[in-house]
Structure 1
Amino acid sequence: MAADRYQLWGGCFDEEPSGVLRRLNDSLAVDSRLYKEDIINSKAWANELHISGHLSNEDNHCIQKGLEQVEKDIEEELLQNQRLKDPEEDIHSVVERRLQQIAGDAALRLHTARSRNDQSATDTKLWMTTALQRIQLEVLKLIKVLVHRADREIDVIAPSYTHLQRAQPVRWSHFLLSYAWMLREDVLRLEEQRDRLSTCPLGSGAVAGCALQINRERLAEQLGFKRVTPNSMFAVSSRDHIVEFLNWASLCGIHLSRLAEDLIVYSTQEFAIVRHSDQFSTGSSLMPQKRNPDGLELVRGAAGLLMGDAFSFGCVLKGLPSTYNKDLQSDKEILFRSYDRLTDCLKVATGTVSTMQVDSKRALECLDPGMLATDLAHYLVRRGMPFRRAHHVVGAALRRASALGVDLQSLPHQEYVKICPEFGSAEDLQALFSWEASVEQYSSTGGTARLAVRDQILQLKQWLQQYSNAC
C-alpha cells in the first residue's frame, strides 16, 4: 500500500483502492470534526488496556503524552486552515499515524482489541453528548427571550387567528408563550434523549466483543457514560440515537418554522403588528422600499431540509443487514449538517424575536367587534340560554348587522331585541364591547386573562431557573 499515508487495514491487499472509490469512501473532510472525541476515546482505551494488564506503563505513558501533542497539533492546523490536509481516509487513521510519529512503536499497541466500528460509534456519541447540551442551551435562550417579551408586553391585546381568519382577542403575551411551551417540550424530549445516549459502545470490538479481559463499566465511567451497551452487535450497528436526534431536530425545526410564519405574516404591511430589526431583515436589489424578513424565511425553509435529513437517514438504515455496514458512514455527515442548520436557525429566531418591535396601537386596530361574537353568546349563556341556541342567535345578529352595513357594536339595540328578547339592556350589551373585558373572561388555567398569563410566565421562569447557570 502507499507509503505516504497510514492505513488501518490492507495487509492482504496488493493494489490501492481506485480513485473513485476513495472519493466515495474517504470521510476525513467530515469526521475530522471528531478529532477531540477520537483522542479522548483513545486515551481512555489505552488507560483501560494498561489497568487491565495489556499495556505497559511505559507504553501507556508514551501514548497519553503523544495523544496530547496530536490534539494540540490538529487544533492549531484547523484554526489556520479550517481543514486537515492529511492523505489518510479518516480521522482515526490520522490520529494513529501522527501518534506513531511522536510515540513510536507504542502507538502500534493502541488499537489492540479495538475496532473502528466501536471506536467510531463511541466518538459520535461523545460528540453528541456535548452537542446536545449546546443546542439545548440555544433552545433555552429562545424560550427565555419569549418569556421576557411576554412579561414586558402583557398589556398588548391583539387578534388571534384560526384558519388565518380573525378569531378572538388575546394578549400578545399569550401568543408568544404558546411557542415558549412548544419549545419547552422540545427541551424535555432532548433531556430524555440525552439519557438514552449515555450508553458506551467501546469495548464491543468489530462485532463479537473484546477478546481481552477489560472492565467496560470502568471504561464507560472514564468517558462519562452512565452505562455500557449490553450486546456488541447492537453496539456497533445501532444508530437509533442519531435517528432520534434527527427526528427531534425536525420537530424543533417545525416549531421554529411555525413561529417564523406567524412573525412573517404579522410583519406584512397588511398586518403591520411587527417590525423586524435591520439586523434580521434584508432589502431588494430592485425595490428600495422593501424590508424582507429573509432570516425568518430561511428558518421556515430549513424545517423542510431538517425533515428531509431525518427521512433520508431512515432510508439508509432500512433493510441493512447486521451489523456494521459502510452505509452507516453517512451518519455523521447528516448529523453534523442537521445540527449546524438547526443551531443557526435557533440563533436567528432568538435574535429576531429579541430585536423586533411590536406596534400595540396597530394590534388594537386589527381587532373588530365581530371578534366578540363568542362573548355575546357567553353573555346569553350566563342569562340561562343553552349555548347551541345562543350560537344561532348571535349568528342571526351577525347576519342582520351585515344587511344593515354595520358591525355588531353599532347594531341598534332594538334589532338585538327583535332577534332575541333575552338580550338585556343597551348598557349591558355595550359593556361587552371591551377588549380588556373580553380577554379577562378567560381566567382559567391556560387562558389569556392577565392572571392566567402571569401564571404561565411564573411557571416558565421557575422552570428556566434550573438552567439559570447555563443561560
Structure 2
Amino acid sequence: MTKLWGGRFEGQSENWIDEFGASISFDQALAKQDILGSLAHVKMLGHTGILTEQETTDIQTGLLAVQKKLTEGDLQFSIENEDIHLNIETFLHEEIGAVAGKLHTGRSRNDQVATDMHLYLKDIVQETIKKIRTFRKVLVKTAEAHIETIMPGYTHLQHAQPISFAHHLMAYYGMLKRDQERFEESLKRIDISPLGCAALAGTTFPIDREYSAKELGFSAIYENSLDGVSDRDFILEFLSNSSIMMMHLSRFCEELILWCSHEFQFIELTDTFSTGSSIMPQKKNPDMAELIRGKSGRVFGNLFGLLTVLKGLPLAYNKDLQEDKEGMFDTAHTILTSLEIMAGMIQNMKINTDIMEKSTEKDFSNATELADYLAGKGMPFRQAHEIVGKLVLQCTKQGIYLQDIPLEEYQNVTPLIEADIYDALASRTAVKRRNSLGGTGFEQVRKAVNHALKELSDSNT
C-alpha cells in the first residue's frame, strides 16, 4: 500500500519496520480531537476562500460521517496508515473520494498532532479539577464530623503531640487545594492553538489562525510557528502537576495502610476497597491504597521519560516526539481513577475514634504540655524542656507516664507545678488549648472546616 506521504520514495518498508514506527496503537485515543481539529480547519479553509464552498461542504459532510462511525465504534484503525491523522484521512477518502486530499491544505501533521494534544489535555485537566474538587468535599465533610476526634500526631513516625483527626484530614485538603490550583493555572498554557503553524514555518496559503482557534474554543494562538509545533511544555506541566498530586495521594495512602493495620486499628476500609488472601483466610488487605501508592511511581516515570526525550531535541519536530503520548495517556487514566478511588475510600471508611484517642493516653505525647505549663509559669522554656526530659526518662525506667507521677513528686522537682497539672496533661485539654492560628485546637479546626465549606460552595473554587 502506497503511503500518503510516499511520493518521494521508491521502495516499500517492511511490516516490522512499519509496526515500530506506527503510533496508531495508542494515538487513536486522539481520534475525537483529530476530527474536531479537521472540522475547524476545513471551515477556516472555506471561510478564507482557499477551498470552494462545495469542497468545504463535501469535506465537512465526510468528516461528520467519520465522526459518527467513531462514536458508534465502527472504525478499524490500521498500522499501514501509521497514525491517527492518516487513518482519519483514509476514512475520509473512503467517504468522499479525492477531494479529501484538500483537507490537508495549509497544515502539517506536526501542527495537527499538537492541536490534538492541546484539545485532549484541556478536557483531561478540566475533568481532573472536577475530581479533585469532589475529593476535597469528601475530606472536609469527613473532617466536619471529626473535629473533636483525637489522634496521635507524629513526627519521625513517633508519637509527638495529640491532634484533632479533622486537623490531620485538613492538611490533605490544603495539599489538594494547591494541586487544583496548579491544574487550573496550567489551563492558560494548554488553551493555546498551534493549528496553522504547519510543519515549522507557517504556510503560503492565506489562512486565518484566529478563526480556527476560535472554532476550537482556544483563547490564544502560538505566536511563533517553530514553538507551536515543538512545544511540549504543556504536557510536561501536566505530568509535573500530576506527579505532585500523586505524591500527596501516596503519602495519604501510606497512612491509611498503617492506620488499618492490626497495630493501629484506627480505621477500617470497606470491602469495596480491600481484597483477601489466597492462602490466609483472615486477611483484609488495603490493596487499592497500595496500588495508588505504587502507581505514583509510574506517573513520576512518565514525567522523567518525557523530560529525557525533550532534553536533546533541536527545533522543530523530531520523530522522538511520538514518545510524548503514551505517558500522557497513562498519567491521565491513572490520576482520574486514583482520585475517584481515594474519594470512595475516605467517604466510606470506618473510623475507630475510641482507639485513636486511647492511643494518646499511654504515651509521652503530652510532654510538651508539661514544658509549656512550666514556661507559662515563668520558667525559661529551655530549662522546662530539660526538666521534662529527665522526668520522661524517669518514667520510662519505672514503666509509668507523666500523668501517673504523684503531685508531691512533681512539687519536689519544682513548686511551680500545682494540682491543675493533670488536667493540663490530658490529651483533650492539650488539643483544645492549641488554639493558635492554623493550630489543632478545636476552635481553629472548626474555623478551618467552615472556611473550606465556604470555599467549596463557590462553584469556581
Q: TM-score range by the shorter chain?
A: over 0.9
CA-CA distance at 1:75 after TM superposition = 2.1
The question of whether the paired residues in 1 share the 8 Å contact of 2:59 and 2:99 is answered with yes
Helix, strand or coil at the partner of 1:110: helix
Q: Which runs of 5+ in 1 are unaligned?
A: none
CA-CA distance at 1:402 after TM superposition = 2.5
Q: Distance in 2 between matches of 1:428 and 1:369?
A: 20
Aligned equivalent of 1:410:
404
Moved more, 138-147 or 277-286: 138-147
Using the size of structure 1 for normalisation, the TM-score is: 0.95
CA-CA distance at 1:141 after TM superposition = 1.4
The question of whether the paired residues in 2 share the 8 Å contact of 1:369 and 1:433 is answered with no
The question of whether the paired residues in 1 share the 8 Å contact of 2:242 and 2:331 is answered with yes
CA-CA distance at 1:201 after TM superposition = 0.4
Write out per-residue CA displacement over residues 291-346 of structure 1, whole angstroms, 9 at most, x where no aligned residue: 10011000100111111111111111111111100000111111001111122211
Aligned equivalent of 2:162:
169
2:8 paired with 1:16:
no
One-letter identity of the residue aligned with 1:283: G
Q: Distance in 2 between matches of 1:24 and 1:143?
A: 43
1:77-226 equivalences under 5 Å are 77=73, 84-85=77-78, 87-226=80-219
CA-CA distance at 1:165 after TM superposition = 0.2
Distance of aligned partners of 1:330 and 1:243 in 2 relative to their CA distance in 1, 3 Å threshold: same
2:285 paired with 1:289:
no
Aligned equivalent of 1:75:
71
The question of whether the paired residues in 2 share the 8 Å contact of 1:39 and 1:71 is answered with yes
The question of whether the paired residues in 1 share the 8 Å contact of 2:18 and 2:79 is answered with no
Write out per-residue CA displacement over residues 116-164 of structure 1, whole angstroms, 9 at most, x where no aligned residue: 0000000110011111111121211111111110011222111111100
The question of whether the paired residues in 1 share the 8 Å contact of 2:142 and 2:166 is answered with yes
Using the size of structure 2 for normalisation, the TM-score is: 0.97
Task: Name the count of aligned residue pairs.
Answer: 460
One-letter identity of the residue aligned with 1:455: K
Aligned equivalent of 1:438:
430
CA-CA distance at 1:369 after TM superposition = 4.9
One-letter identity of the residue aligned with 1:21: I
Q: Distance in 1 between matches of 2:193 and 2:137?
A: 33
Q: Distance in 1 between matches of 2:168 and 2:352?
A: 15
Helix, strand or coil at the partner of 1:17: coil
Aligned equivalent of 1:429:
421
Q: Distance in 2 between matches of 1:151 and 1:229?
A: 46
Moved more, 11-20 or 160-169: 11-20
Runs of 4+ in 1 over 4 A off after TM superposition: none
The percentage of counterpart residues that share the same residue type is: 38
2:392 paired with 1:395:
no
Aligned equivalent of 1:272:
265
Aligned equivalent of 2:248:
255
1:333-352 equivalences under 5 Å are 333-352=326-345
Q: 2:221 aligns with which of 228, 236, 259?
A: 228
Q: Distance in 2 between matches of 1:403 and 1:435?
A: 22
CA-CA distance at 1:88 after TM superposition = 1.7
One-letter identity of the residue aligned with 1:394: V
Helix, strand or coil at the partner of 1:230: coil
Write out per-residue CA displacement over residues 55-88 of structure 1, whole angstroms, 9 at most, x where no aligned residue: 111111111111111011122226xx9x735742
Q: Which runs of 5+ in 2 are unaligned?
A: none
Q: Distance in 1 between matches of 2:195 and 2:449?
A: 44
One-letter identity of the residue aligned with 1:44: A
Helix, strand or coil at the partner of 1:180: helix
Helix, strand or coil at the partner of 1:11: helix
Helix, strand or coil at the partner of 1:170: strand
Write out per-residue CA displacement over residues 336-364 of structure 1, whole angstroms, 9 at most, x where no aligned residue: 01111122211221111111100011111
Moved more, 102-111 or 199-208: 102-111
Aligned equivalent of 1:59:
55
CA-CA distance at 1:103 after TM superposition = 2.1
CA-CA distance at 1:464 after TM superposition = 1.8
One-letter identity of the residue aligned with 1:13: F
One-letter identity of the residue aligned with 2:335: L
Helix, strand or coil at the partner of 1:169: strand
The question of whether the paired residues in 2 share the 8 Å contact of 1:253 and 1:303 is answered with yes
CA-CA distance at 1:467 after TM superposition = 3.2
CA-CA distance at 1:54 after TM superposition = 0.3
Distance of aligned partners of 1:127 and 1:296 in 2 relative to their CA distance in 1, 3 Å threshold: same
Q: 1:454 aligns with which of 438, 446, 449?
A: 446
Aligned equivalent of 1:50:
46
The question of whether the paired residues in 1 share the 8 Å contact of 2:30 and 2:116 is answered with yes
